[in-house]
Structure 1
């Protein structure tokens, strides 16, 4: 990828300088957006506030959402126009309009799209969008963390083969946590724990019918809200961090203490030092007020000179210290991932080739043989973070394969969904890709 400009190399610029240069030269980063719900609408609006980047094509199952998002964004957004296929999408882009396509394929394949953002939240759709984008030789930004924790290692490898970028989204808690992990590790210090504050009260058996009013008030889908409330989203996000950083949950579901920010390093540290952890190098979360919407890393710094300086800086006596980012801007930051991918060929976060953790599922209620499982955040199951070793031992069904799976044996409330009591829908793309990933990972481990 050639990032040179007439005035020099874009890689010499800061990101804002590079975007301003592209704005002046009339060659913005051209983004295709798949999924224009709450988050997708935010992205449409946010890109109109930035120089050198534009949404040029979009697809959603409800096409009217694209027009609604453009109306919310105001006059600086491209005007939407229907485009039925990749050629029509490309024509609309050249003519300065926002191509509204009936399917993700038309956006991913179209000339004039540099990078695609998947904002669908559906694991199977996410796998299809990512594969189509990579096959077309374009960069992919995955807001779809549910797909990433299921097949991300394989998708990242396919992107490497094609010479494009696979990256998770800036602004989401995993990417913000990785920012702190990379900072601490760059200074040479081991990560004891990394995690986030949980935004919603934790209620494992939450179901959408009880949250319709709150979801409507917050302009959210009830299923999406419940994915946060029942802990599934926290499990998904922390496993994404684990797989990118080589960390593990200390125990199934993590500890999730009510540790305030000032006490995190005293609670999420090894047992021999008064904490909860049986090992170093874990992911976890806190349910205490005042930690969310931030993310944190607990680092171990034992050199007496360094500890002297840390205490002088009012950061404590150590040897464990909390590094904390008090915010994550969710969809508002996502365009930064797209810009970094196109301008610098840089991924802000991606899974390692061999995963270290898995999100399994436990039943929210008794499940009868023959039932078809619903989606994450609905009535049948919730997510639980597992080390890869525990997941393999349990034969745990990855949560990304649960939707559409058939229950083959009765499962009692609180029991794990496994390959022995559930059968994934093998017709789904994500199930096929997961088989490819399992073979890919086995090959790496067998070297």
Structure 2
């Protein structure tokens, strides 16, 4: 609970945590806004395919031009400045850098970047959770083999949910369920980048002002991102996933203890120890008050009369039986909270969440009838969305992971609502992402 003090001490000692960042989009820019304020962290280098765009984003969040004008990584490391370039291999191999932050949002590229960083004995914070969803356990294994730390990104909902699960278990509670909130109605599954802003609740002007990517935000709305993040939570926390995908029950925060319990007791879970996502909209589309749309939660059990009595005595909200209770973090601040991961790794040597099992997987599910010859355009696009499935079921069925459904050609028709399989596509078997995924599948 003293990371801020320890970061300040690192700065005072002239020994800040030195990081390199790959990708300077929305998440990365939010982190850079905080890194400008947090002197215990030194961003030595930023790598982006479009360095001028990265520099524009630095201007947007108030960086002084002199600070990011270092001519080289060596110059940046020596003078406490930042170098902006487009050579990720130079970044991950530079000896002054302790931690690599991968936040490109491109899952296939992310795998290559992360494995490359491991080879250079660099710790990695992976913001591209799409990659974690289909090969997170592989990252954990490769990091241990390299003697480094691999971590999910604090500020994103999986790491925040994992933190709550850890809190509950460290207190001695039995975790019944954990997850995040979402704005969900069934027809959102067919949303495309053309329909996102009306559904999301922003104007085109607001989206452009924030430099928001419609495809990325559509991945949240169409169920892909909730599936991805739920898989990451399940694989990190050792929780199961629903057999046929997320249920998205509507409810307020106070409804969570009633919803997130087994069906045999009136809830929506197949069994105890699962992930789920709570919708902030009723079935008629009306808004639920005191929702958890932007946050995370953990439901835990008072499994003795004494614990139930404690819940009652301290007037906490439970399900009708008094047995189940929820704790939550109502808001997540995305990249603005990422310094917590940097400090946790750089000071304590601890990840803020890492996959240890392969329980949840995210299959590419067709949004409409797809024809042979079409190209899949990945999460948030026009062709497929992500469906959470038990990893055993996904691997046994040969389901194509959503993270590998980018720029892939169909060789067979796929009906609307059906999982796309490996046999339905011409997969690129030469990528690091494909190879690591196949290694992970062998663990099932």
Count of residue correspondences: 424
Aligned residue number for residue 204 of structure 1: 189
TM-aligned CA deviation for residue 237 of structure 1: 0.4
1:246 equivalent in structure 2: 238
Matches within 5 A, 1:31-46: 31-46=19-34
Change (3 A) 1:58 1:75: closer
Aligned residue number for residue 309 of structure 2? 308
Q: 1:72 aligns with which of 51, 54, 60?
A: 60
Report how far residue 425 of structure 1 moved.
1.7
| 1:347 maps onto 2:351 in alignment | yes
The change in CA–CA distance for 1:361 and 1:375 in structure 2 (over 3 A counts) is: closer
Q: For 2:377, what is the secondary structure of its paired residue?
A: coil
After superposition, the Cα gap between the structure-2 partners of 1:163 and 1:78, relative to the gap in structure 1 and judged at 3 Å, is: farther
Equivalence for 1:164:
148
Alpha-carbon RMSD across the aligned residues, in angstroms, is: 1.9
Check whether the contact 2:43–2:81 (CA below 8 A) recurs between aligned residues.
Answer: no
Shift of 1:93: 2.1
Structure 1 residues not aligned, in runs of 5+:
1-12, 443-447
- The residue number in structure 1 matching 2:228 is 236
Residue 261 (structure 1) aligned with residue 233 (structure 2) = no
Name the CA distance, whole Å, in 2 between partners of 1:75 and 1:325. Answer: 30
Give CA-to-partner distance per residue, 1:206-230, whole Å, 9 cap, x none: 1112236364354311101110110
Q: Give the TM-score normalised by structure 2.
A: 0.91
SS of the counterpart of 2:418? coil
Distance in 1 between residues matched to 2:243 and 2:24, nearest whole Å: 36
The DSSP-based 3-state class of the residue aligned with 2:69 is strand
Q: Tell me if the contact between 1:200 and 1:228 (Cα under 8 Å) persists in the aligned partners.
A: no
In the TM superposition, residue 64 of structure 1 has moved relative to its aligned partner by: 1.0
2 CA distance for matches of 1:210 and 1:255?
Answer: 23
Residue 139 (1) aligns with residue 123 (2): yes
2:230 maps to 1:227: no
* Aligned match for 2:406, one of 403, 406, 416: 403
* Alpha-carbon spacing, 1:163–1:295, altered in 2? closer, same or farther (3 Å): same
Which shifted more, 174-183 or 89-98? 89-98
1:77–1:181 CA distance, 2 compared to 1 (3 A): farther
Q: 1:359 to 1:24 in 2, by over 3 A?
A: same
**Would you say the 8 A contact 1:29–1:52 is kept in 2?**
yes
Choose the corresponding residue for 1:18, options 6, 30, 39: 6
Find the aligned partners of 1:438 and 1:249 in 2 and give their Cα distance.
17
Deviation at 1:335, TM superposition (A): 1.6
Q: Distance in 1 between matches of 2:367 and 2:397?
A: 18
Map 1:79-94 onto structure 2 (within 5 A): 79-81=67-69, 88-94=72-78
Aligned to 2:169: 185
Residue 62 of structure 1 aligns with which residue? 50
Quickly say closer, same or farther: Cα 1:77–1:345, change in 2 above 3 A: farther
CA distance in 1, matches of 2:406, 2:33: 31
CA apart distance, 1:395: 1.7
Report the secondary structure of 2:19's partner residue. strand
Partner residue in 1 for 2:37: 49
On the 8 A contact 2:168/2:174 being kept in 1, the answer is: yes
Deviations 1:27-82 (A, max 9, x none): 11111111111111111111112231121100111111222233234356862237
TM-score normalised over the length of structure 1? 0.90
- Matched-pair contact (CA < 8 Å) for 1:248–1:386: no
CA contact (8 A) 1:270 1:276 kept: yes
Q: Name the SS for the 1:178 alignment partner.
A: helix
Q: Distance in 2 between matches of 1:423 and 1:105?
A: 29
Q: Aligned partners of 2:10 and 2:380: how far apart in 1?
A: 41
The answer on 1:424 being equivalent to 2:427 is yes
Unpaired stretches in structure 2, ≥5 consecutive residues: 198-203, 281-287
Distance 1:226 1:220 in 2: 11
Asked whether the 8 Å contact 2:378–2:402 carries over to 1, the reply is no
Q: What is the CA–CA distance in structure 2 between the aligned matches of 1:81 and 1:335, rounded to whole Å?
A: 22
How far did 1:201 drift?
5.7
Q: CA deviation at 1:420?
A: 2.4
